[in-house]
């Protein structure tokens, strides 16, 4: 399929964010919507995402985005079409001792927003999940409805729905530059030719800083590397087990199809420089594997008899305050960004896509107010922060 000569909106990036934006734009009749992906759909962060879907945040805006997105994951066929592979497991969030009072305040904040969550004591957790070691947990946040979804299925669902609404999706098409006329965007240059357009959405994930820089827009971001181990659970581990974000061990874990447990080694995250973007290691190192297994066994002792099946690593983009960068770029009319989701953008993509499309089509996001996540917040001295942010 040859590239069109013109488009009303060009979305850059075929991950879960870009496909969700393209779907909502097409659904809202934004004209000819074109999505450009340099590799294949879900080739970036999305392809390695652990897919946790929960609503616990330490700030009300992302909690609201996650809560409204959760409805989409739960009823994906109705809202988007097809199956996103959502599995409800129940979810537990521990915090370090110095954050326990903040945890209480955040659970109250989440309850006021309508999230089905409450505090559970170590004893209550033990009753609910005797396979978890709980002596070091005075209390934690619990969400019975949460779980995980399949990041590939979700992305394909959005892409197919976008196509059904008339959007055109081009894989193997890399954006290499922009045509500008002063402070106005005129077109997108790619390895396959040029598209004249006045509106572009940068949803290029970890490459989002580079894509913005091509248009002369500077974003303050850091590329992060994150490893995940996949462990075969022994018969002693009941199935499926809870999904847990275990801040006491800087890990998270969730069940995976085939009696596997996926464990995120957040303790070994590290920053990459932009020149390392296309040559980072996609493997789990032995060093990290041993460390993450130690943490897993400390929380789930029966895993001593588990076996590592495989592992992988992926990258994501942090913003300066670790909250997404969503909205128009200052100084370049028609250039929007939806990047910097800081390691938690999968669960937010359904509503981020809707809000970005509303902003482009109607002039403002209606499903949620994205103002606190605007790109200019840093130079205005207003980085986003919840009242009880974990430290």
Interface contacts to ligand FAD, rule CB under 6 A: 12-18, 36-39, 43-46, 48-52, 174-175, 203-207, 211, 226, 228, 314-316, 341, 343-347
Cβ of residue 203: shortest distance to ligand FAD, in angstroms?
5
Residue 289 or 302 with smaller CB distance to ligand FAD? 289
Residue 124 or 220 with smaller CB distance to ligand FAD? 220
Cβ of residue 15: shortest distance to ligand FAD, in angstroms?
2
Cβ of residue 49: shortest distance to ligand FAD, in angstroms?
3
Residue 149 or 361 with smaller CB distance to ligand FAD? 149
Q: What is the 3-state secondary structure (H, E, C) of the chain?
A: CCCCCECCEEEECCCHHHHHHHHHHHHCCCCCEEEEECCCCCCCHHHHCCCEECCCCCCHHHHHHHHHHHHHHHCHHHHCCCCCCCEECCEEEECCHHHHHHHHHHHHHHHHHCCCCEEEEHHHHHHHCCCCCCCCCCEEEEECCCEECCHHHHHHHHHHHHHHCCCEEEECCCEEEEEEECCEEEEEEECCEEEECCCEEECCHHHHHHHHHHCCCCCCEEEEEEEEEEEECCCCCCCCCCEEEECCCCEEEEEECCCEEEEECHHHCEEECHHHCCCCCCCCCHHHHHHHHHHHHHHCHHHHHCEEEEEEEEEEEEECCCCCEEEECCCCECEEEEECECCCCCCCHHHHHHHHHHHHHHCCCCCCCCHHHCHHHCCCCCCCCCCCCCC
Residue 100 or 389 with smaller CB distance to ligand FAD? 389
Cβ of residue 303: shortest distance to ligand FAD, in angstroms?
19
Residue 302 or 315 with smaller CB distance to ligand FAD? 315
Cβ of residue 283: shortest distance to ligand FAD, in angstroms?
12
Cβ of residue 324: shortest distance to ligand FAD, in angstroms?
8
Residue 52 or 332 with smaller CB distance to ligand FAD? 52
């Amino acid at each position: 399929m040859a590239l069109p000569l013109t488009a009303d909106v060009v979305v850059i990036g075929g991950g879960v964010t870009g496909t969700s934006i393209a779907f909502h734009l097409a659904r809202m009749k934004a004209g000819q919507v074109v999505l450009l992906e340099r590799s294949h759909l879900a080739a970036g962060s999305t392809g390695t995402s652990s897919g946790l879907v929960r609503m616990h945040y330490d700030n009300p805006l992302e909690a609201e985005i996650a809560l409204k997105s959760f409805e989409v994951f739960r009823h994906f066929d109705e809202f988007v079409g097809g199956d996103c592979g959502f599995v409800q497991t129940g979810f537990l969030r521990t915090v370090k001792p110095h954050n326990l009072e903040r945890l209480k305040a955040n659970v109250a904040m989440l309850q006021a927003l309508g999230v089905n969550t409450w505090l559970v004591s170590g004893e209550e957790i033990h009753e609910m999940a005797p396979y978890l070691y709980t002596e070091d947990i005075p209390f934690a946040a619990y969400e019975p409805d949460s779980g995980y979804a399949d990041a590939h299925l979700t992305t394909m669902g959005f892409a197919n729905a976008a196509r059904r609404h008339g959007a055109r999706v081009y894989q193997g098409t890399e954006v290499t530059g922009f045509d500008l006329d002063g402070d106005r965007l005129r077109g997108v240059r790619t390895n396959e030719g040029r598209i004249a357009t006045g509106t572009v959405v940068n949803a290029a994930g970890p490459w989002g800083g580079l894509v913005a820089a091509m248009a002369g827009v500077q974003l303050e971001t850091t590329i992060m590397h994150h490893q995940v181990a996949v462990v075969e659970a022994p018969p002693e581990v009941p199935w499926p087990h809870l999904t847990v974000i275990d801040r006491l061990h800087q890990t998270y874990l969730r069940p995976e199809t085939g009696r596997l447990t996926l464990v995120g080694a957040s303790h070994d995250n590290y920053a990459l420089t932009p020149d390392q973007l296309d040559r980072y290691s996609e493997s789990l190192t032995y060093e990290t594997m041993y460390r993450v297994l130690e943490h897993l066994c400390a929380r789930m002792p029966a895993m001593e008899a588990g076996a590592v099946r495989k592992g992988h690593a992926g990258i994501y983009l942090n913003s300066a305050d670790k909250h997404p960068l969503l909205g128009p770029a200052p100084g370049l009319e028609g250039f929007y960004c939806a990047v910097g989701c800081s390691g938690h953008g999968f669960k937010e993509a359904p509503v981020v896509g809707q809000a970005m499309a509303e902003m482009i089509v109607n002039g403002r996001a209606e499903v949620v107010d994205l103002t606190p996540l605007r790109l200019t917040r840093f130079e205005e001295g207003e980085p986003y922060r919840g009242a009880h942010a974990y430290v």
